[in-house]
Amino acid sequence: GAGVSQSPRYKVTKRGQDVALRCDPISGHVSLYWYRQALGQGPEFLTYFNYEAQQDKSGLPNDRFSAERPEGSISTLTIQRTEQRDSAMYRCASSPNAGPNSDNEQFFGPGTRLTVL
């Protein structure tokens, strides 16, 4: 596809369950970012990758959150033992290059709306 895709678009789960959110970046894009956006707030940085290497995970709230991008393309954000406070929109973005240059706009996916009951 032409843009960043995410699946599922909506996920409802019960507290305590694990969830895996998938991001399929634009083909060939080097960098991939995960954000969380609560209602009425701006996106909050979680982590990012260049190729398969996780460069910064300082935004992950706690050790229940993890992310991987094993082959430098698709990425999975996993939340273990979900809690109600994890409910939010989880957004993925990709950019063509690593580092700052004129091509390094981040293209955002549509997001996965996670609801933890």
Task: Name the residue nearer to another protein (CB basis): 13 or 45.
Answer: 45
Binding segment (CB under 8 A) for another protein, from list 10-18, 20-28, 78-86, 87-95: 87-95
Q: How far is the CB of 24 from another protein (least distance, A)?
A: 16
Q: How far is the CB of 16 from another protein (least distance, A)?
A: 28
> 3-state DSSP call for residue 44?
strand
Instruction: Determine the Cα–Cα distance for residues 82 and 72; give it in Å rounded to an integer.
Output: 26
Rule CB under 8 A: choose which of 6, 19, 31, 75 binds another protein: 31
State how far the alpha carbon of 97 is from the alpha carbons of 4, 23, 93, in Å: 15, 17, 12
Q: Is 55 in the site for another protein (CB under 8 A)?
A: yes
Instruction: Determine the Cα–Cα distance for residues 18 and 87; give it in Å rounded to an integer.
Output: 13
Task: Name the residue nearer to another protein (CB basis): 7 or 110.
Answer: 110
Binding segment (CB under 8 A) for another protein, from list 12-20, 56-64, 71-79, 80-88: 56-64
Rule CB under 8 A: choose which of 5, 7, 45, 76 binds another protein: 45
Q: What's the chain's Rg over C-alpha atoms?
A: 13
Whose CA is closest to 21, among 117, 86, 105?
86
